[in-house]
Structure 1
Amino acid sequence: MTHVKVLHLITGLGAGGAEQQLRLLLRHLPPEYHCDVVALTNPGIVAAGLRSDGVRVGNLAMRGNRDLSALPRLVRLIRRERYDLVHCHLYRACVYGRIAARLAGVRAVVTTEHSLLAHTLEGRRITLGVRALYQATELLGSATVAVSDAVADRLADWGVPERRVRVIPNGVEAARYRQPAPVRAATRQAVRAELGLPQDAFVFGGVGRLVPGKRFDILVDALRLLPQTPDAPAARLLLVGDGTERAALERQARTVGVADRVVFAGERDDVPELLTAMDALAAPSTVETFGLALLEALAAGLPVRWSSGPALAELPAAAAPGARRTLADPAAYAAELQALRTGRRRSPGRALAQPDAVRHYDMARLALEVAGLYRQVADRTPSAPAVPAPHAAAPRPRAAHPTVPVPEESHVQH
């Protein structure tokens, strides 16, 4: 069997959706693909998770978007490690990675577009310069993966030829969320105790970066609108994630008088366990490129109330009967959550069956689609004489905490 050496280049490795998707993909790619990961900066908690999975992880230690010294370091790394294919994730890594791969003589270059919206890219406003640089460097790649039809449509609006775009959605590891009832009950009790959540409370949650586009402020106001009556379980809001809006959300909670009923869990890598502490997931974001949190919650057996998410919008409603689209308005969410709270009294903590939507987005299947794209890209890529011929050596043994060797002037995370 031929072994293919792949470099996954990503802007950072904090606990974001793209970062977690990369880790999940590497768990499910066929064994002939030997993958290393290099972050341009910020090797956060996902880097530790990748190392625990046996993946080599390096840090290029870029000092900012205009740290051009990172480019020659990356070129030397690609040449020295003799990668057969480079797969880039997130804007900055896509720009630098496409250029570096070409300079290093690697012609098989895949990028995944995770977060392209009409006016923002990865939560930041799209300027003319950002768009021009993206379009210019996209031509240096072999193919671009869009995580949804909506993202593919936006790439087409930017002039990326349809033949260069392949829709391969994000995925979930369904088995990771499936627990026997006694185990789930014990996990639920333990997580609630850790977070200071009453065991008998109705807990609805939001999962994602605490940024303006997620509209978690709607959930704070919805909590205020939920009636507090002696015959109803107490209501709590659990927010999992971190970001620039945390301080504003904390102030809002104090202003409307619900600060004692909102729990900020921060950035965590144990989302499946945290979901067991919830009775429902609420996702009021009005613009999403995919909506991974919706699938994670459905996989964990939760009812979902959502406002935007191609993951569900691009499927028939019957694929996720536990999910209901909801107007991004505090009163609308309060009404939906109140109905769920009333129903919960009859079966507190009971998990719903995983719906067809979860099976549709099974990562084991989607990873095979990525591997198929790798083969297509490699088959139509001409040889690159500037780079030593790719080798097909036996797999290297993995260290307990492996690290990709990077040039001397770079920093390495151990």
Structure 2
Amino acid sequence: MKVLHVITGLGIGGAEQQLRLLLRHLPVESRVVTLTNPGPVAAGIEADGTPVTHLGMTGNRDVGALPRLARVVRQGGYDLVHTHLYRACVYGRPAARLAGVRRIIATEHSLGEAQIEGRPLSAGTRALYLASERLGTSTVAVSSSVARRLADWGVPPARIRVVPNGIETARFAFDARARRLVRGVLGVPRDAYVVGGVGRLVPGKRFDRLVRAVAAIPEAWLLLVGEGDRREELLRVARECGAAGRVLLTGACEDPPTVTSLGPSLPELLSAMDVFVSTSPDETFGLAVVEALAAGLPALYVACPAVDDLPPEAAPGARRIGGSVPELISALRGVRDARLARLPVPRAALRYDIARSAGQLMSLYDQAVHGGTPSPVK
């Protein structure tokens, strides 16, 4: 089976790195087209052995990208086209149809409560999405929460399939040696209480609240993994709160790493933490929380469909909290005072192993290409 994946961009981000992980586990011949930004994840995908083509799209209204993409699809002789993220879905589905490919699957990674792929939800955004959705075979939601949002938007439930995001669970096992080494490299005291967060440094993640909360706990350090346009603002907040020396921003971390990756890996950075916090109020899955749970960390979160869609016993180390600064301070002090040891890997982390997700997706591919009865939404 030949599959073409079309994605909006390949900078470091959750959907982009999720595609890379899936490609490592899907037993099909694949190729990737990125509409824009062939960033570090593109290099990682190619290092793994999958070719990447940059379409060179110049903006949302670059309609010339449509025939260029259709030409790539036609020349490749693909059995199926799989699109990822809003812009790639809107352009990729009609391009596949123009090229004569009728088996089209789209994964919806980014439909939150108030935005989709970083753009506000609007009547026009919804209309364009639904118009292109009708051209596809099925739409994959990365969580049950996203499936419900798609149905509320007007996508027929019979066309929605849930294939959750996944992680290479075993890679995130706690490593005591990595903990010592990373803390040494970063200049963090061995006995410090280290609060961690992972994500893009953008307003929607609300990391400024986490900085203020950590600043209020004198013995706490903050280790933030990610990059974005709010980096300098977060450093300024740390200085204003008198915690500049205890707030560390490591920059983006490509995961899985490649041979050219510099600095500690994400599993190593998680090993250096004592508690993980996700302050974002609007998530489509919450992959970083699942990674933290796989590393044996207690995880505090404001929104995480990946955990909320499961029974409480599947992730006993995870706890939903309020997102205000006082609530964050209280929750962090509670974890500190409990002096929790590293936790066992919960069932949630095993359920969201990438091999399982790839198997579910492969079943959907087979149904689309070879026929058969679709599985119900679950």
TM-score of the superposed pair, with normalisation by structure 2: 0.92
Deviates more, 1:281-290 or 1:329-338: 329-338
Provide the aligned length of Structure 1 versus Structure 2: 362
Question: In 2, distance between residues paired with 1:10 and 1:196?
Answer: 38
Q: Does 1:238 align with 2:217?
A: no
- Counterpart of 1:218 in structure 2 is 209
Q: Does 1:341 align with 2:336?
A: yes
Q: Does 1:16 align with 2:16?
A: no
Question: In 2, distance between residues paired with 1:15 and 1:189?
Answer: 27
Question: In 1, distance between residues paired with 2:336 and 2:35?
Answer: 44
Q: Does 1:312 align with 2:342?
A: no
The correspondence of residues 394-409 of structure 1 with structure 2, limited to 5 A, is: none
Pick aligned residue for 1:259 from 226, 241, 244:
244
Q: Does 1:205 align with 2:196?
A: yes
Give 1:197 deviation, angstroms. 2.4
Give 1:342 deviation, angstroms. 3.3
Q: Which structure would you say has the larger Rg? A: 1
Give 1:380 deviation, angstroms. 4.3
Question: In 2, distance between residues paired with 1:68 and 1:273?
Answer: 43
Pick aligned residue for 2:361 from 363, 366, 370:
370
Q: What's the secondary structure of 2:29's corresponding residue?
A: strand
- Counterpart of 2:279 in structure 1 is 284
Q: Deviations over 1:356-401 (max 9, x none)?
A: 11111121112111011111111349xxxxxxxxxxxxxxxxxxxx
- Counterpart of 1:88 in structure 2 is 83
Deviates more, 1:51-60 or 1:139-148: 51-60
Deviates more, 1:194-203 or 1:16-25: 194-203
Residue identity over aligned pairs, in percent, reads: 57
Give 1:279 deviation, angstroms. 1.0
Residue identity matched to 2:190:
Q
Residue identity matched to 2:121:
I
Pick aligned residue for 2:295 from 275, 295, 300:
300
Question: CA RMSD, aligned part only?
Answer: 1.6
Residue identity matched to 2:290:
L
Give 1:224 deviation, angstroms. 2.0
Give 1:120 deviation, angstroms. 0.8
5+ residue gaps, structure 2, are 255-264, 373-378
C-alpha contact (below 8 Å) 1:123/1:213 kept by paired residues: no
Residue identity matched to 1:377:
A
Pick aligned residue for 2:131 from 119, 127, 136:
136
Residue identity matched to 1:216:
F
C-alpha contact (below 8 Å) 1:225/1:331 kept by paired residues: no
Deviates more, 1:39-48 or 1:92-101: 39-48
Q: What's the secondary structure of 2:17's corresponding residue?
A: helix
Deviates more, 1:243-252 or 1:290-299: 243-252
5+ residue gaps, structure 1, are 229-233, 382-414
Question: In 2, distance between residues paired with 1:24 and 1:301?
Answer: 21
Q: Deviations over 1:82-133 (max 9, x none)?
A: 1111100001111111111000000010000011023211222123222211
Question: In 2, distance between residues paired with 1:67 and 1:196?
Answer: 47
Runs of 4+ aligned structure 1 residues displaced above 4 Å come to none
The correspondence of residues 97-136 of structure 1 with structure 2, limited to 5 A, is: 97-136=92-131
In 2 relative to 1, CA 194–62 (structure 1 residues): closer, same or farther, beyond 3 Å?
farther
The correspondence of residues 164-203 of structure 1 with structure 2, limited to 5 A, is: 164-178=159-173, 184-203=175-194
Give 1:6 deviation, angstroms. 0.5
- Counterpart of 2:342 in structure 1 is 351
Residue identity matched to 1:195:
L
Q: Deviations over 1:286-323 (max 9, x none)?
A: 22111111100000111111111110111111111111
Residue identity matched to 1:190:
L
Question: In 2, distance between residues paired with 1:322 and 1:308?
Answer: 15
Q: Does 1:163 align with 2:148?
A: no
Question: In 1, distance between residues paired with 2:311 and 2:357?
Answer: 19
C-alpha contact (below 8 Å) 2:277/2:301 kept by paired residues: yes
TM-score of the superposed pair, with normalisation by structure 1: 0.84
Give 1:141 deviation, angstroms. 0.8
